[in-house]
């Protein structure tokens, strides 16, 4: 065999291997925990549209912004928001310093173990407890408390760590989007300083890409240096109409994809789809009472009523957890 034939044979082999590798990559399922169906296909089609250069739907990487609610969208939120469990534990820890809590509501009900009565006052009662248990410490002190709690606390029903109550299909979705040039943000009604200590480790989302509700901070110069101290005052509630406002303030770009599970996310999804070009609005519908929880229109936690109506009317993607997901949580760590 002469040199020319050898080169031709080698070139053919290289091309064949390249095409095989490309075909294998294309056949790799980036969303293996999702069942084939309309919901999964809408995600894949959207990503293909916005990432194909030279087409009308192409979106530059800098503009590929995706926003995610946290509670009920990235991790579970039943039977209660997880930050509320953190607050209850803090009340029990701080109770010896506050003898008045033995008779003062909603603290008295928490100390008696009557969490239903403690939350009877709704958001106002929860906010009162948050302010009482979070204020007065520095950012660093609060971060340390959250890290310790999140590593040791367990969900009251599953007995899993809260960081294992995340949704495996959504973890895959986050990775899939980032692999295709998206920047992923959390936009949640939860406390910004409660989420930031652990979101990068759990979701791959760094603290500067986490937006949430916040209390006011005060700069103080102490003997060991400057600190930021948490005050018992609300700064911003990142829920409902507040979400588009927070996105404008913190991101400065309108998302092209938004993901939520409740009426509290409706305005974020509306704001997202109102932009020009390809858009993806996705609602996660909790329909799996056996593997997770089933709730929507009448739930006091994560109510999905107006949002579900609008999603169905507008043709947004609605994920039926029972039908669309092969699994819910990641495999239990050994």
pLDDT score at 294: 98
Give all strands of the β-sheet with 257-260 in edge-to-edge order: 225-236, 210-222, 183-191, 65-68, 257-260, 280-285, 317-320
| Mean pLDDT confidence for 292-311 | 97
Residues in the chain: 334
Return the structure tokens found at 174. Answer: 């986050």
pLDDT digits (tens, 9 = 90+) for 117-146: 998 888 889 889 999 999 999 999 999 999
Closest to 300 in 3D by CA, of 113, 172, 121? 121
pLDDT digits (tens, 9 = 90+) for 221-269: 999 999 999 999 999 999 999 999 999 999 999 999 999 999 999 999 9
Return the structure tokens found at 312. Answer: 């169905």
Per cent of the chain over pLDDT 90 is: 87
pLDDT digits (tens, 9 = 90+) for 12-22: 544 444 434 33
Residue 15: partners with Cβ closer than 8 Å, 6 or more residues away: none
Closest to 72 in 3D by CA, of 204, 188, 201? 188
Mean pLDDT of the chain: 92
Closest to 237 in 3D by CA, of 126, 138, 73? 126
**DSSP one-letter code for 305:** S
Domains of the chain in start order, with CATH, are 33-78+165-324 (3.40.50.1000)
**DSSP one-letter code for 294:** B
Helices and strands (DSSP H and E) totals, the chain: 14, 7
Distances from the Cα of 282 to the Cαs of 36, 66, 152, 170, 292, in angstroms? 16, 11, 32, 12, 19
pLDDT score at 22: 37
Rounded to two decimals, the pTM is: 0.90
How far apart (Å, rounded) are the C-alpha atoms in residues 74 and 39?
16
């Amino acid at each position: 065999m002469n040199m020319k034939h050898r080169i031709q044979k080698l070139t053919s082999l290289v091309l064949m291997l390249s095409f095989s590798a490309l075909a294998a990559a294309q056949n790799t399922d980036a969303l293996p925990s999702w069942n084939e169906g309309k919901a999964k296909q809408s995600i894949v089609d959207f990503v293909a549209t916005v990432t194909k250069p030279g087409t009308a739907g192409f979106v530059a990487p800098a503009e590929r912004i995706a926003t995610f609610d946290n509670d009920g969208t990235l991790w579970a939120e039943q039977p209660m928001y997880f930050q509320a469990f953190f607050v209850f534990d803090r009340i029990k820890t701080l109770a010896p310093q506050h003898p008045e809590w033995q008779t003062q509501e909603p603290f008295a009900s928490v100390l008696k173990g009557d969490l239903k009565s403690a939350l009877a006052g709704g958001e106002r009662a929860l906010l009162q407890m948050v302010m009482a248990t979070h204020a007065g410490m520095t950012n660093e002190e609060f971060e340390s408390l959250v890290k310790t709690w999140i590593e040791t606390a367990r969900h009251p029903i599953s007995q899993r760590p809260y960081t294992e109550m995340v949704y495996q299909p959504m973890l895959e979705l986050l990775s899939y989007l980032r692999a295709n040039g998206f920047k992923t943000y959390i936009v949640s009604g939860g406390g910004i300083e409660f989420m930031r200590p652990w979101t990068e480790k759990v979701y791959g989302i760094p603290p500067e890409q986490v937006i949430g509700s916040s209390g006011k901070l005060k700069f103080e110069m102490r003997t060991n240096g400057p600190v930021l101290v948490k005050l018992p005052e609300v700064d911003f509630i990142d829920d409902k109409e507040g979400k588009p406002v927070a996105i404008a303030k913190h991101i400065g770009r309108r998302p092209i994809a938004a993901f939520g599970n409740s009426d509290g996310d409706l305005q974020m999804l509306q704001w997202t789809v109102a932009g020009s070009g390809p858009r993806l609005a996705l609602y996660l519908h909790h329909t799996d009472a056996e593997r997770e929880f089933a709730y929507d229109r009448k739930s006091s936690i994560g109510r999905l009523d107006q949002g579900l109506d609008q999603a169905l009317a507008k043709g947004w993607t609605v994920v039926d957890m029972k039908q669309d997901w092969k699994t819910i949580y990641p495999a239990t760590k050994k």
